[in-house]
Amino acid sequence: MYLTVGEIGVLELELRDFDLKQIADSGQCFRLNRAADGSYNADAGERRLNIRGLGGGRFALDCGREEFETFWRAYFDLDADYGAWRRAVDAEDDYLTQAAEYGSGIRILRQDPWEMLCTFILSQRKKIPAIKSAVETLCRKYGKPFETDGGIRFAFPAPERLAGCTVEELGTCALGYRAKYVHAAARMTASGELDLAGLGKAEDEVLLEALKGVYGVGDKVASCVMLFGFHRMDAFPKDVWIYKALDARYRDGFPYDRYRGFNGVIQQYIFYYQRFLDGQG
């Protein structure tokens, strides 16, 4: 990674295998949004980062070097070699080769486990724009405000805050029947019954079962939380798009063993590519 300092408070980086649009549209995050000027704003915790593509694989980030090194570098998983994972794709697998090429700028972000749990619970049977809208409403109503150059923003609400709401109150955030699920997850997390921090060290199977113990969390949501909130890179969430690809292309079974250690990345390539093929990208 090539690193220089431009104007004060702005870092210019050369990043490989990094495409903001692809990451924003890959369905893993709902608070990375394109601004009117074509740049992107990433909200994480009580932080906001503006990233602008400069062309030629170069990007301008409106943060200092220290903040980049201590937070955003890991957040965007910039120390991982996604090119190596793409090159490991079976050359005889035309579909996957094309999928990996089409989504070559996708990275698995390291997002907050609680935010991922709550977000993917409310994502079920919602379209991506509706998910973004519901998340934004939750943040505005219950998130802690913080200042940015562009004005006041709101952090994702803490579990304690949502646990203190009634199900009816949460229902006003376009959660529909999922309000009771979000409320249950908030209570379990706030009380410590679900120890998300402690589960960071648990085996994949233990983590999966713990997540599925939450009301409203099944295999798919739990897998998303594992991949996007705990960076468990072998998690392979199966949604309608993945099932479509598996049914059409991998009737004899998907070669998970071949991609051990980065099945989650492969899953993202398929998700992003399959939506494109079906006109939803």
Partner DNA sequence: TGCCAGGCTTCAC
Partner DNA sequence: GTGAAGCATGGC
Residues that bind DNA (CB under 7 A): 26-28, 120, 123-131, 133-134, 171, 174-177, 215-222, 224, 237, 239-242, 267-268, 271, 280
Which residue in the list 126, 141, 180, 220 is annotated as catalytic? 220
DSSP H helices in the chain: 20-24, 65-67, 73-75, 82-87, 94-102, 113-123, 128-142, 159-163, 167-170, 179-191, 196-199, 204-212, 219-229, 240-249, 263-277
| Coil vs helix vs strand at 106 | coil
Token pair, residue 193, equals: 């019954």
* Residue 132 is a catalytic residue: no
End-to-end CA distance of the chain: 29
Of the two residues 123 and 189, which places its CB atom closer to DNA in the complex? 123
CB of 281 to DNA, least distance (A): 11
**162 or 221, CB closer to DNA?**
221
Decide: 89 and 100 in contact? Cβ < 8 Å.
Answer: yes
The one-letter amino acid code at 121 reads I
Give the shortest CB-122-to-DNA separation in angstroms.
Answer: 10
DSSP 230: S
Least distance (Å) from DNA to the CB of residue 218? 3
Nearest to 116 by CA among 213, 214, 210, 229: 229
Question: Based on CB atoms, which residue is closest to DNA, 49 or 135?
Answer: 135
32-34: strand order across its sheet:
2-5, 11-14, 58-61, 47-55, 40-44, 32-34
Nearer to DNA, 52 or 244 (CB): 244
Q: How far is the CB of 62 from DNA (least distance, A)?
A: 26
Q: Which residues are catalytic?
A: 220
